[in-house]
Structure 1
Amino acid sequence: MNNCGLDLSECKFLGEGHHGKVFLRKDGKVIKICTTVRSCKSEYLILKKVDGSKYFPRAYKYEYLYMIRDYVGGECMRDYIKTHGLSKRLAINVIKLLEEFKRLHFTKIDIRCKDIFVESKERVMVIDPKGCYSRHKNYPAHLMKGLKNSMYLDKFLRVLKNERPKLYKEWILQNNLK
Structure 2
Amino acid sequence: MDDYHKITVEKTGLKINNPTRYELIGKGVQGAVFRISEDRCVKVYARERHCLKESEALNLGQHSAIVPKVFDVGAKYIVMEYIKGQSMKDYLQPLAIIPDPIAKQLVFIFKEMKRMGFTRIDASIRHLIVNEQGEVKVIDHVNSLKTRHLWPMDFFKALGKLKLLDTFLYQLKEMDPDLYCEWKAMMDTGVN
TM-score by length of structure 1 reads 0.89
SS at match of 2:94: helix
Whichever residue aligns with residue 141 of structure 2, its letter is P
Identical positions, percent: 25
Contact 2:8–2:46 (8 Å) recurs in 1: no
Tell me if the contact between 2:51 and 2:142 (Cα under 8 Å) persists in the aligned partners.
no
Task: Check the 8 A contact 2:62/2:69 in 1, yes or no.
Answer: yes
2:75 to 64, 87, 107: 64
2:179 corresponds to 1:167: yes
Cross-structure match for 2:126? 114
Deviating 4+ runs (over 3 angstroms): 1-4
CA distance in 1, matches of 2:189, 2:89: 21
Unpaired stretches in structure 1, ≥5 consecutive residues: none
Moved more, 70-79 or 157-166: 70-79
Match in the other structure for 2:3: none
Matched residue SS, 1:53: coil
Deviation per CA, 1:135-168, whole angstroms, max 9, x where unpaired?
2221111110010011110110000011110000
Aligned to 2:51: 40
Which of residues 34, 45, 48 in structure 2 aligns to 1:23?
34
Listed as ranges, the gaps of 5+ residues in structure 2 are 1-5, 10-16
Match of 2:150 among 122, 135, 138: 138
Residue 50 of structure 2 aligns with an amino acid whose one-letter code is S
Aligned partner of 2:7 in structure 1 is 2
Letter in 2 for 1:147: L
CA contact (8 A) 2:66 2:137 kept: yes
Shift of 1:92: 1.3
**Greater Cα shift, 130-139 or 97-106:** 130-139
Aligned to 1:81: 92
The alpha-carbon deviation at position 174 of structure 1 amounts to: 4.7
Choose the corresponding residue for 1:129, options 132, 141, 156. Answer: 141
8 Å Cα contact 2:32/2:43 also seen in 1: yes
In the alignment, the residues of structure 1 paired with residue 111 and residue 127 of structure 2 have an alpha-carbon distance, to the nearest angstrom, of: 16
2:163 maps to amino acid? M
Post-superposition offset of 1:32? 0.8
Q: Aligned partners of 1:109, 1:168: CA distance in 2, in Å?
A: 14
Give the match's secondary structure for 1:100.
Answer: helix
1:154 aligns with 2:159: no
**Which residue of 2 is the match for residue 95 of structure 1?**
107
- Residues 161 and 8 of structure 1, relative CA distance in 2, 3 Å threshold: farther
Tell me the matched-pair count. Answer: 177
Q: What SS is found at the alignment partner of 1:83?
A: coil
